[in-house]
Amino acid sequence: MASQLHEADEMVQNVEIARRLEEVADLLETQRANPFRVQAYRRAAAGVRHLQRPLIAIWLEQGDAGLRAVTGVGERLAAALRSLVTTGRLPMLDRLRGETDPVALLESVPGIGAALAERLHRDLGIDSLADLEATAHDGRLADIGGIGKKKLAGIIDTLSMRLGRVRQAGYVHEPDEPPVGELLDVDREYREKAASGKLPKITPRRFNPTGDAWLPILHTHRGDRNYTALYSNTARAHELGRVRDWVVLYYDGGLDERQATVITSHRGVLARKRIVRGREQECQRYYQPELTPSPAPAGQPVS
């Protein structure tokens, strides 16, 4: 009897997952996303609703491959299903609702409490689980007081499961990143359309005491890669007055969603150029033709 009740509860989870996928589809449609993307979420919701077994049981037995097989989704939507069955959360849905809260996302990782999550966001600029994973591997997370070897190992294991990483001999397989030129082009499209009032606006929950719908949102694509772009509505961006300068791009990346932040550089040869934070060297190569002085015409001195 107990096992039957447990399975019944898990079947209720299927219904809730389907509802969230349907809400994603509705919000994407309202925000003028690609119709094919909207339909993909609707098909996934229908697939989950018609399952005769709990989705969590399928995932525990067969992993992402099982999720794809029983629902007919691709790798990217399987990652969304994995997030829903393992955590009950879908960061993409929070973002579409205007409820993105990086501190709450960090808090959802076992071993990270409210105070530590706030510190990681404020002092290290961590806005995503991918950022958190990077700091766990490059040593910065271990430098934070209160995180010992055991807790660090637990955090890494949790992130490995939630991000769907493929690990071989300690190596984290990373999907190919889009070129900086593509990211900068999406940034350009977003800022131009936001400035001309051509984008739908959402009502962010954070830093919005008046409840205004002020945050423009763009859904676009380059090839088969989908992008969502938003101004950075984070504590750091507000503190520095850079909300409408920092643009956060969310995009498909292998088994999980990735993100990048595009800002205006204020230093060195890239001053006043739009750059992808963390990929400055690639941006310098991208802008190299503009940064290299043209040779002086014959007979004229070089200034």
CATH code of the domain covering residue 141: 1.10.150.20
Determine the pLDDT at residue 297: 60
Q: Are residues 135 and 82 in the same domain?
A: no
Q: Are residues 203 and 265 in the same domain?
A: yes
> How many structural domains comprise the chain?
3
Q: Are residues 57 and 33 in the same domain?
A: yes
93: in domain: no
Digit-coded pLDDT (tens) for 17-69: 999 999 999 999 999 999 999 999 999 999 999 999 999 999 999 988 999 99
Q: Are residues 82 and 106 in the same domain?
A: no
Q: Are residues 283 and 189 in the same domain?
A: yes
Report the CATH number that the domain containing residue 62 is assigned in CATH: 1.10.150.110
172: in domain: no
Q: Tell me which of 88, 112, 145 is where a domain ends.
A: 88
Q: What is the rounded average pLDDT for all residues in the chain?
A: 84
Label each residue of the chain as H, E or C: CHHHHHHHHHHHHHHHHHHHHHHHHHHHHHCCCCHHHHHHHHHHHHHHHCCCCCHHHHHHHHHHHHHHHHHCCCHHHHHHHHHHHHHCCCHHHHHHHCCCCHHHHHHCCCCCCHHHHHHHHHHHCCCCHHHHHHHHHHCCCCCCCCCCHHHHHHHHHHHHHHHCCCEECCEECCCCCCCHHHHHHHHHHHHHHHHCCCCCEECCCCCCCCCCCCEEEEEEEECCEEEEEEECCCHHHHHHCCCCCCEEEEEEECCEEEEEEEEECCCHHHCCCEEECCCHHHHHHHCHHHHCCCCCCCCCCCC
**Structural domain span for residue 120:** 102-164
97: in domain: no
Predicted confidence band of residue 265 (pLDDT cuts 50, 70, 90): very high
Q: Are residues 81 and 111 in the same domain?
A: no
191: in domain: yes
The model's pTM is 0.76
Digit-coded pLDDT (tens) for 255-264: 567 889 999 9
Digit-coded pLDDT (tens) for 168-210: 334 344 457 899 999 999 999 999 999 999 999 999 988 899 9
302: in domain: no
At residue 241, does pLDDT exceed 60?
Answer: yes
**Least trusted range by pLDDT, from 90-94, 188-192, 229-233, 242-246:** 90-94
At residue 227, does pLDDT exceed 90?
Answer: yes
Determine the pLDDT at residue 4: 46
